[in-house]
Chains A and B, each alone.
Chain A
Amino acid sequence: MSETVNGSVVIAHDVGLHARPSVKLTKLAKGFASTLEIAGTAEGPWIDAKSIVKVMAMKAKQHSTLFVRAAGADAQAAVDAVISLVHRDFDEAGDGH
Chain B
Amino acid sequence: MGTSHLGTGASDGLFIGPVRRLGQAAADRQGTGHADTERAALQDAIASAIAGLTTLLARVEGEAQDILGFQVAMLEDDALSAPALSAIDSGTPAHDAWASALDSEIAGYEASDDEYFRARAADLRDIRDRVLRHLSGSGATSGTSGAVLVSEDIAPTTFLETDWSGGGAIALMRGSTTSHVAMLARARGIPMVVSLGELPQHVATLAVNGGSGTVLADPDDAQRAGFDAALASDAQARGLEEKFRLAPAMRRSGARIDILINVAGVEELDHIDPASCDGIGLMRSEFLFRDGAPLPDEETQYRAYRRFVEWAAGKPVTIRTLDIGGDKPVRGLTPDGEANPFLGLRGVRLTLAREDVFRTQLRALARAAVHGNLKVMVPMVTVPLELTRSAALFDACVAELRQQGIASQRPPLGIMVEVPAVAVLPELFDAAAFFSIGSNDLTQYVTASSRDDVRVASLNDPSHPAVTALISRVARFGQEAGIPVSLCGDMASEPKHLATLLDAGLTSLSVAPARIARLKAALAEL
Q: Which residue in A13, A53, A61 is a CB contact (below 8 Å) of B79? A: A53
* B 49-91 contacts with A by CB, 8 A: 66-67, 69-70, 73-74, 76-80
Specify which chain A residues have a CB less than 8 angstroms from the CB of B28 in the assembled complex: none
Q: Shortest distance in angstroms between B95's beta carbon and chain A's nearest beta carbon?
A: 20
* A contact residues, total (Cβ < 8 Å): 27
Specify which chain A residues have a CB less than 8 angstroms from the CB of B116 in the assembled complex: 15-16, 18
Q: Which residue in A13, A18, A26, A27 is a CB contact (below 8 Å) of B117? A: A18
Specify which chain A residues have a CB less than 8 angstroms from the CB of B123 in the assembled complex: 19
Specify which chain B residues have a CB less than 8 angstroms from the CB of A15 in the assembled complex: 114, 116, 294
B273 on the A face (CB < 8 A): no
B174 on the A face (CB < 8 A): no
Which residue on chain B has the smallest CB distance to residue A94?
Answer: B360
Q: Is the CB of B66 within 8 A of A19?
A: yes
A23 on the B face (CB < 8 A): yes
Interface size class of B (residues with CB under 8 A): 20 to 34
Main DSSP-derived SS at the B contact region: helix
Q: Mark B277-295, 1 if CB is under 8 A from A, else 0.
A: 0000000000000000011
B356 on the A face (CB < 8 A): yes
Are A59 and B74 CB-contacts (below 8 A) given A20-B294, A54-B79? no
- In whole angstroms, what is the CA distance A28 to B505 when docked? 58
A51 on the B face (CB < 8 A): yes
- In whole angstroms, what is the CA distance A54 to B120 when docked? 14
A43 on the B face (CB < 8 A): no
Which residue on chain B has the smallest CB distance to residue A27?
Answer: B73
- In whole angstroms, what is the CA distance A59 to B120 when docked? 11
- In whole angstroms, what is the CA distance A27 to B363 when docked? 28
Specify which chain B residues have a CB less than 8 angstroms from the CB of A13 in the assembled complex: 294
A3 on the B face (CB < 8 A): no
Further 10 A-B residue pairs, CB within 8 A, beyond A22-B73, A52-B73, A95-B297: A16-B116, A20-B294, A48-B79, A52-B76, A53-B80, A56-B117, A57-B108, A59-B112, A94-B359, A97-B356
